[in-house]
Amino acid sequence: MRHPLRIPAFFSLLVAFLATAMGGCALIDEKQDDCPEEMQMICIVNLESNLDEELDGMLGSLHDRPLRTALEDYLSHVFIDEVHEVDMVFYDQRQRGKMTFSQSEVMDAGQKVFVLRVPASDYRVGGVANVSAVPMVSVKNEAEKSKFSMVQEGAQPFDSHPSGLFSARRSILVRDDEDQQFQVSFSMANSAAALVLNRDSCDVRSFRVEFEGMADSFRVVDSVYSFDRGIITKADIIDATPYTGSDVDMAAEKDSWSYESYWTRWVKTPLMACGVGFPTRPISTVNANGDARIWTIYIYIGLEDGTVTRSEVLIGRPVRPGQLLIIKGWICADGSFTAIPEHEPWWVGPGIDPKPEEPNPPASDSTVVGVNVTIDWTEGPTYQPNL
């Protein structure tokens, strides 16, 4: 699935404000009355994502096609190039950044022109889009530009964001008695991470995944994410079984297999989970113990004997705004996660040695910087998919 940036033809919508009907500009501060005849605000959705690149690199083989299709369907409402509604707030720089004007409009497009009447002044404009589609996120403290934020709040663990969130910011100088046109670009403010687990070696009875380390809020005008609160996101379980079929011909690929992709072959449909939330920190802060983690994945695997194995997977690669990160690994017989296959692959390809020569081979996925495993975890998972 591809997500090109679609730019529909321009079309405009005249916006009549309640205060305008009363004889003035639509203002919070009614003392300002120097209004231009009209100002065009062109809102454009600018989706810059690595979606296709990540899918091609991690789930690009014919064998992995069912996994890719299932993940694409799950993310079809997240990586989007059209938004439903936009909320714009104008902060007057000549009044110490006071909010003097705000407007909410339905967009339902990738580009749209709104015609506004705004008093002449120097503004910092902040905008958000699709916030109403994400129940755990709300807009807070619009009175000050430094506090105009999208904030995630509520009971933890949080559900995954069901939609892409977008934000915009720019400075504009509105002149008196002069029609002007400004363009505001809305860019994606949240991100996604997916986990794909080969379970050929394990009889899994239950499966739960949580992410920890995402931002709790985003200050729009300053473009700053906050990590003041520990956010735990409950990843959704993705069932790829309905997407498997006879068109998946593993034999057609065997002549081109290499060791890097060799261990990812699977017999049982792999386990998949995906979570959408605000991004992680952009870089890792290495502490005195050499912990290079940026964020953490918690995997809970329920086994046939009723026990639960918990793997704490330390991730050293950030998840950036508008980005998808896919982490692949194995579930071992005891339910633990590993990024290295500890046994022969189920299929022996021609002329390929599945065992590296070095005694301590590097992790097959350098994204994983460490794993802490607890066997017989006392708190079992609450999600029980049909496995």
pTM check: above 0.75: yes
Q: Are residues 253 and 215 in the same domain?
A: yes
What is the model's pLDDT at position 201? 85
Query: In the numeric block, which tokens belong to residue 213?
Result: 């380390």
3: left (phi > 0), else alpha (psi -120 to 50), else beta?
beta
The residue among 133, 165, 188 that closes a domain is 188
**212 inside domain:** yes
Residue 100: count of CB within 10 angstroms of its CB? 22
Tell me if 294 sits within 8 A of 91, measured CB to CB: no
**338 inside domain:** yes
**96 inside domain:** yes
- Residues in a beta bridge with 164: none
What is the model's pLDDT at position 274? 98
Q: Are residues 205 and 308 in the same domain?
A: yes
Tell me if 42 sits within 8 A of 13, measured CB to CB: no
What is the model's pLDDT at position 20? 34
Query: In the numeric block, which tokens belong to residue 67?
Result: 């996994």
The residue among 137, 171, 188 that closes a domain is 188
Range of the domain at 73: 51-78+191-374
> Cis omega (within 30 of 0) on the bond before 157?
yes
Q: Are residues 108 and 169 in the same domain?
A: yes
pLDDT tens digits, 145-194: 888 999 998 888 999 999 999 999 999 999 887 788 999 999 999 999 99
Backbone angles phi, psi at 286, to 5 degrees: -80, 125
Q: What CATH number has the domain bearing residue 172?
A: 2.60.40.2100
Q: Are residues 116 and 199 in the same domain?
A: no
pLDDT tens digits, 103-158: 898 999 999 999 888 888 999 999 999 999 999 999 987 888 888 999 998 888 99
The residue among 139, 168, 188 that closes a domain is 188
| Between residues 247 and 66, the one the model is more confident about | 66
Tell me if 173 sits within 8 A of 156, measured CB to CB: no
**32 inside domain:** yes
Q: Are residues 315 and 208 in the same domain?
A: yes
Q: Are residues 30 and 73 in the same domain?
A: no
**88 inside domain:** yes
pLDDT tens digits, 294-331: 999 999 999 999 999 999 999 989 999 999 999 998 89
**65 inside domain:** yes
